[in-house]
């Protein structure tokens, strides 16, 4: 049984967060993370000097996230809410999720992406890592509508996609070693002057 002090995914940032950080402007921008979990990526971005908001449905996860932020000496605004329904009014330079929004039911995703686009500053980025149905392993107690291979591309058909890549990741969260198929995507609004010069993440 896990203890309240155990960080399931550790306290270091994900590789995806490290890669996405290379796209970000100088210190001072605003970042929204959906499904921030125990806070490792939010805390990483805050440590780079960004104003970070993390949203998650798990109060226990947010308690650990706040503790990690205090340990690292950074401030993050934590919001306990369903990412698909959370009401936000400010605008962000990066909207980010890593292994989270595949928990949002498929019927709610179009509206979610529409809302997220409206919250994005000109020249801002969206970066998502989602589980896909290319290779399905259902962990105990989970209910996921896995993304199809083209779902993210369709959701961002009106944006410039800088990177879209399928990968496999190893996992043993339920005690059994297994793999998940995932898709990484980074996009920027079409029509922004910064789009033509936007760097592309390495594959």
Residue ending a domain, choose from 83, 104, 126: 83
Q: Which domain holds residue 126?
A: 91-192
- Asked if residue 62 and residue 112 are part of one domain, the reply reads no
pLDDT tens track for 165-189: 999 877 656 666 767 789 999 999 9
d(CA 128, CA 99): 8
d(CA 135, CA 168): 8
* CA within 13 Å, CB half, 161: 16
The CATH number given to whatever domain includes residue 72 is 3.40.50.150
1 falls within a domain? no
Q: Write down the mean pLDDT value for the chain.
A: 87
- Asked if residue 97 and residue 75 are part of one domain, the reply reads no
Residue 200's pLDDT is 47
Residue 27's pLDDT is 66
Across the range 27-38, mean pLDDT stands at 91
- Asked if residue 106 and residue 161 are part of one domain, the reply reads yes
102 falls within a domain? yes
- Asked if residue 181 and residue 104 are part of one domain, the reply reads yes
Residue 195's pLDDT is 47
- Asked if residue 152 and residue 104 are part of one domain, the reply reads yes
Residue 17 has pLDDT above 70, yes or no: yes
pLDDT tens track for 100-159: 999 999 999 999 999 999 999 998 999 999 999 887 767 666 778 899 999 999 999 999
Residue ending a domain, choose from 83, 101, 116: 83
- Asked if residue 55 and residue 128 are part of one domain, the reply reads no
């Amino acid at each position: 049984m896990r203890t309240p002090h155990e960080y399931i995914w550790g306290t270091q940032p994900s590789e995806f967060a490290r890669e996405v950080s290379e796209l970000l402007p100088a210190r001072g921008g605003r970042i929204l993370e959906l499904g921030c979990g125990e806070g490792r990526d939010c805390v990483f971005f805050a440590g780079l000097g960004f104003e970070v908001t993390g949203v998650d449905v798990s109060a226990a996860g947010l308690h650990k996230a706040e503790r990690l932020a205090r340990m690292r000496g950074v401030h993050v605004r934590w919001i306990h809410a369903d990412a698909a329904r959370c009401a936000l009014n400010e605008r962000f330079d990066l909207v980010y999720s890593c292994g989270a929004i595949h928990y949002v039911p498929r019927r709610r995703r179009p509206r979610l992406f529409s809302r997220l686009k409206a919250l994005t500053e000109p020249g801002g980025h969206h970066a998502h890592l989602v589980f896909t149905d290319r290779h399905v392993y259902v962990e105990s107690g989970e209910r996921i509508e896995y993304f199809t291979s083209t779902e993210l591309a369709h959701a961002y058909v009106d944006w410039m996609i800088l990177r879209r890549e399928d990968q496999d990741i190893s996992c043993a969260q339920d005690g059994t070693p297994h793999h998940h198929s995932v898709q990484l995507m980074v996009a920027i609004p079409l029509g922004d002057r910064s789009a033509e010069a936007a760097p592309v993440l390495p594959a």
